[in-house]
Structure 1
Amino acid sequence: MTPLNTLQQKLKQQTANLFYTDSPQTIAYLTNFYSDPHERILALFVYGEDSVLLVPELEVSEARKNEHIGQVIGYRDEENAWHKLRHAPFLVQAERYWKIGIETDQLVVERYEELQSLFPAADFINFTPSINEMKMVKSAEEIQKLLKAGELADQALEIGMAALKTGVSEREIVALIEFEMKKRGASSMSFDTMVLFGDHAASPHGTPGERKLVEDEPVLFDLGVIYDGYASDVTRTVMYGKASEAFLSAYSSVLNAQRSAQEQVSPGVTTGELDQIARELLTKDSFGQYFTHRLGHGIGQSVHEYPNIAAGTDLPLCKGMCFSLEPGVYIKGQFGIRIEDCVALTDKGPLAFTQTSKELITLPLQS
C-alpha cells in the first residue's frame, strides 16, 4: 500500500472529505514528487480515490510523469494560482467538502484564508498527527535510503578529519566537506554543516566562522546529507592533539550515555525513558546540568521529524521508527562534546545509519 492509499484510508476513518497540504516534504512523501517551489505554491489535494496537484507551470511536465498523482494543474507566475483551481473537479461542488484535513504545523495564515474562501462551509481539522504517524514508521526501502545517506555522512566525517591542520578555519573545513559531498552524489546537505573548534563548540548549535584551529583542542562535527530524498545526521567530537583530563572525563560520560541509550532501543520502551537513561547517567557523573537539549528527534525525508526523544514524552517505540540519539555536554569557555548516531528499530534491535567510531579519535598535529 502506498502512502497516498494509507492517507485515503485515514480520511475515511475520520470522515474527512478532503486533505490539503502545501508542504513539499509531505507532498514528496505521499507522491514521490520532489520539488522546491521557493516562494511559489505547490499544493496537493487528496479526495476520495483521486488527487490534484497544483504546481508552477515550469514543473508541470515533470509532475505529469508521476503515476501517483491524479490531475496536475499548472499556473504561470503572472497568474493567481488559487483562481486556477476554480474549475478543479473537487470544487465543482465545494459545499460537499464539509470536513477538510490540514497540517496545522505547516499551513500559514494567508493560505488558510485562501482555503476558507474556496470552501466557505467547511470545517478544518488537524491532520498533522495522522501524517506524523504515517511518516514515523519507515518502510524497508526508506531505511535503505537512510543507510545510504548515512554512508555519505561517514565519508564526510572522514574528509573533515583528514583536513584538520593547525591554522585552518572552521569555514574552510565546512567548504571542503560540502564540495566533496556534492561530488559523491549528495543532492544537498541536510542542514548547515557544523565544524566547531575548542570552546566554540560549547554552543550546541554554533555557527562555523573564521576561528582557527590550534594545537590540543577538540573539534565537533555535526553534519548530514540528502541522498535520494532522505537525510542523514551524525555528530562526532574528535581531539586534535592532546586532550585534557577534564575533556576526557566528559567525553567518557557522554559516550556512556549515548551507548547506554542506544542499547536500550527496543519495542515498548518510551521516548521519555530513552532520554532519562542518558540524562541520569550524565547527572550521576556531575554533567547533567551541561546537557541542555533533548536526546533526539525523528529522521526521514527531513532531518528533524516526529517524534521528539525528550523528557516528558511517552511514545512507545515500535519497529520501523528512525531517530537520533545525541547526548552532549557543553561547558562555556572550555569545550562542547556531542556524540550522535541515528538508528532504525528493526527485528534485531537498533540499526545505526553511521559507522564512524564513537571511541575518542585523536588526530596528530599537522601544519
Structure 2
Amino acid sequence: MTVAEHAEWTEAIQALPREDRPSLKPVREAIEPLRAIKDAGELEAITRAVRLGDEAFAHAAAQLQPGVSERELAWEVQRHALEHGAERLSFETIVAAGPHGSMAHARPRDIAVEAGQGVVMDLGVVVDGYCSDLTRTVFVGEPDGRFARVYDAVLTAQTMAVERIEAGMSGGEAHAIAATVLAEAGYGEAFTHGLGHGVGLEVHEAPRLAAGSGDVLADGHVVTVEPGAYFPGWGGVRIEDQCVMEDGRLRVLSRAPKLDLDVVPGVGVAS
C-alpha cells in the first residue's frame, strides 16, 4: 500500500461510525520472510540484473584513467545500464577515489581520479523489477604495498565468508566469519558495516547479515557478501558479490573480475 492509498483508507475509515471502524495493522514483518525466499522465476530475473550490472561495471572500468571524474564514471555506469535494458539503477552509483573511498556510502564528485589511487565502485541495476548490487575496488596504475595488503585481507575475508556461510546460520554468525578474518589481519576496527543483506524487489531487504542479526539463512535467499576496510585520509577497499543459497551453500552470481595482485610486479600481499 502506498502512502497515498494509506491516507485514502484512513480518511474513509475515519468517516465511519466509531463502532464500525476497522483497524489497519502493518504486515511487513510477516511478508518479508516470504519475499526473502526467491522462486526460480525471481532468480532468473535477478541473474539477468546481475549480468547487466557486471557489464555496466566493465564498461565504466574501461574508462578509468587519470583525469576522469568520479561523476563521469558513475554516469558511464548509468548510461550503459539504461541503454542495455535496465529499467533504472538500484541506487545512486558510488564512485569514490583515494581518501574519498574511506566513506562507505560516498557520493560521486566532480573531482578527477588520480594515478596511484584506489577507486571503490558500488553499483546496481533493476531488470524485470529485480535488483543487482555489486562492488569492486580498482586501482589507477600499479598498486602500492599498502593497497595490496588491505585488498588481500578484504578479498580473503570475502572468499572465506562465501565458502563458510551455510543454511541455518544466523546473519550474525555469517558476519563474524569475515569480521574475524579482518580482525586477525589488523583491520577489525576498519570494518564499519554489516557483511551483507538480502536483494530482490528492493536492493536492501531480508535477511540481514550483520553483527547481532538473528535472521536465519535458508535456501532461496539471495544475499550480498561485501566486507570492507576504511581508513580516513587514505581510502578504502570493498568487494561485494551477489549470491544465492542453494543446497545449503552460497553460489556466487556476480562475475565481474577482481584484482589479481599476485601478477603485479613488485607488489607484496603479505598480511
Q: Give me the TM-score of the superposition, normalised by structure 2.
A: 0.90
Tell me the distance in 2 between the aligned counterparts of 1:112 and 1:127: 16
The aligned residue for residue 196 of structure 2 is 296
Tell whether 2:35 aligns with 1:135: yes
Shift of 1:112: 7.2
Gaps of 5+ in 1: 1-20, 24-40, 44-106
Alpha-carbon RMSD: 2.0
- Is 2:59 the counterpart of 1:159? yes
- The residue aligned with 1:5 is none
Residue 112 of structure 2, aligned match among 201, 204, 212: 212
- Quick check: 1:318 aligned with 2:218? yes
For the residue of structure 2 that corresponds to 1:164, the secondary structure is coil
2:179 matched residue in structure 1: 279
The CA deviation at 1:326 is: 0.7
Structure 2: segments with no counterpart, 5+ residues: 265-271
Q: Are 1:117 and 2:97 counterparts?
A: no
User: What pairs up with 1:182-197 in 2 under 5 angstroms?
Assistant: 182-197=82-97
Picking from 43, 61, 74, the partner of 1:174 is: 74
Counterpart mapping for 1:37-48 below 5 A: 41=4, 43=5
Tell me, yes or no, if the aligned pair for 1:154 and 1:355 is still in contact at 8 Å: yes
Percent identity of the aligned residues? 33
User: Hey, what's the Cα distance between the residues in 2 that align with 1:112 and 1:240?
Assistant: 55
8 Å CA contact 2:169, 2:216 repeated in 1: yes
Shift of 1:177: 1.8
Distance 2:242 2:199 in 1: 8
Query: Which is bigger in relative contact order (C-alpha 8 A, separation at least 6)?
Result: 2
**Number of residues paired by the alignment?**
260
SS of residue matched to 1:253 = helix
* Contact 1:150/1:353 (<8 A) preserved: yes
Question: Aligned to 2:250, what secondary structure does the other structure show?
Answer: strand
Any idea what SS the aligned residue of 2:95 has?
Answer: strand
**Quick one: which amino acid aligns to residue 349 of structure 1?**
R
CA shift, 1:308, in A, is 1.3
Cα-to-partner distance string for 1:192-247 (whole Å, 9 max, x where unaligned):
01111111111111110111111111111100100010000000001111212111
TM-score (norm 1): 0.67
The match for 2:133 among 233, 239, 249 is 233
8 Å contact from structure 2 (residues 198, 208) kept in 1: yes
Q: Distance in 2 between matches of 1:193 and 1:276?
A: 27
Contact 1:202 1:332 in 2 (8 A): yes
Q: Do residues 262 (structure 1) and 162 (structure 2) align?
A: yes
The structure number with the bigger radius of gyration is 1
